[in-house]
Amino acid sequence: MLTKLATLAAGAGYWLGLLLIALALEATALYYQYALDYGPCVICIHIRIWVAALALLALAALWLRRSRAGLLLAQGLALVVLAGFSERAWLLLAVEQGRVQGECNFDSGLPAWFALDHWLPQLFQVKEACGITPPLPLGITMAEALLPLAAGLLILNLVLLLASALRAPVAP
């Protein structure tokens, strides 16, 4: 089982899957923003940043995975990115459910050296205050869907990282 998990972690399919998930999430967010007129809140923008980081990391991991050290580095970085994504998804749901107050404003909170909201305002500019996220076709809100997705990816990546660290991957 450990060998199968390590092989999965080293395979291009896993990293392509993460890339496709990240791109689908970004595309969905942009569809809701521009086609359905749901502006993003500051927490939504933070989630978009974590998801964009996941996409870039998945691209880099397609190359890094060819060495054991590169694979472990990519999986370690993915763990950090997915933890950030999970934390923001949890916060978005907590704000939506009224369990957390005062976490929202129109300032992205990004430092001047990382001003994505100024460099790419079409993607990363805060447009609305936090509150209720858009409904999805399954009768749940976007916040209710994001948290289990983020947590599931985090757990999967942790399992694959442990498998990779404990067992040398078989060539994919």
In a domain, 67, yes or no: yes
Domain tally, the chain? 1
Taking only the tens place, the pLDDT of each residue in 115-144 is: 888 898 888 888 888 888 899 988 999 999
d(CA 116, CA 130): 19
- Residue 14 belongs to domain with CATH number: 1.20.1550.10
pLDDT for 171 equals: 47
In a domain, 160, yes or no: yes
Side chain identity at residue 70, one-letter code: G
Note the pTM of the prediction, 2 decimals. 0.89
In a domain, 35, yes or no: yes
In a domain, 172, yes or no: no
pLDDT for 158 equals: 95
In a domain, 171, yes or no: no
In a domain, 140, yes or no: yes
* Residues in the chain, pLDDT under 50: 169-172
Which residue segment(s) compose the domain that 145 sits in? Answer: 2-166
How deeply is 83 buried, as exposed, middle or buried, from its count of CB atoms within 10 A (0-12, 13-18, 19+)?
middle
d(CA 25, CA 51): 7
pLDDT for 170 equals: 45
